[in-house]
Amino acid sequence: MAGHGGRGWHGRMIAAAVGVTAVAAATSVWTAQAGQSGSDAPAPRASASARATTPKTPPVSAAIAHASDGGANAVNITIDDGPDPVWTPQVLQVLRANGVKATFCMIGPQAEAHPDLVRQVVAAGHRLCDHTVSHDTTMDKKSEAYQSQQILEAEQQITKASGGVRPMYYRAPGGAFTPYSRHLAASHGMLPLGWNVDSKDFERPGTAAIISTVKRELANGPTLLFHDAGGDRSQTVAALRTLLPWLKQQGHSFGFPVS
């Protein structure tokens, strides 16, 4: 529930040695990039021998993504807090019926508990996003070691559940990003993911209210926030059934987030 208070998801802490190693590696990245206002500094030119072992894909930006790769009229559908055995299949069905691809921001233990759903999401052409282990909306007030554990353990859980497909994005619970967490995620190839329109669906205000909020706030930008877990998401499913065709009627296409 990216736009709301914590829900008490409780993840298992990884072993101290792993946490220390992850923090040490991530801290070197953050230290080099901190103060860049969300953008990565140019990488130094490597020697010929170093370039031979450098990954072909450059590190992603540490800036928080809000834009869409689909162009000026595109919107990004993002779905948080799952997967859930009741609601994720229904959300997938609505997306499939409308020919829409989305980004699913998954809680690590949820992915671990429902690998079949994670693989269905991937098989349908949607993208994965790391939404931490415990969905702690106060993690921006916590230590770097804690932030590292929350992000990296969830990345491992989601990757294993998917059969090896790594999350492309990291969304901080409640938007609780820090410079450290953004650069840590980027160093692992995960683009920090924000949102422009909070549908408020997590509060279950009624299907009509969810639809009205999205229509009213759509001018704020292309990245829309919905949820497929954390309680009864029937209003979300119903709202998507109306909103996806409406967005098409308004001339919108659908894309994936970019910074």
**Phi, psi angles (nearest 5°) of residue 62:** -90, 0
> Nearest-CA neighbor of 62 among 92, 78, 88, 41?
41
Q: How far, CA to CA in Å, does 185 sit from each of 60, 88, 202, 230, 255?
A: 9, 25, 25, 24, 21
Secondary structure of residue 116 in the 3-state scheme? helix
Catalytic residue among 131, 135, 183, 227: 227
Hunting for tokens 């299907």 — which residue is that? Answer: 207
Active site residue 201: no
Catalytic, 80? Answer yes
Active-site choice (4, 40, 80, 136): 80
Evaluate whether 127 touches 254 at the Cβ level (below 8 Å): no
Catalogue the active-site residues: 80, 227
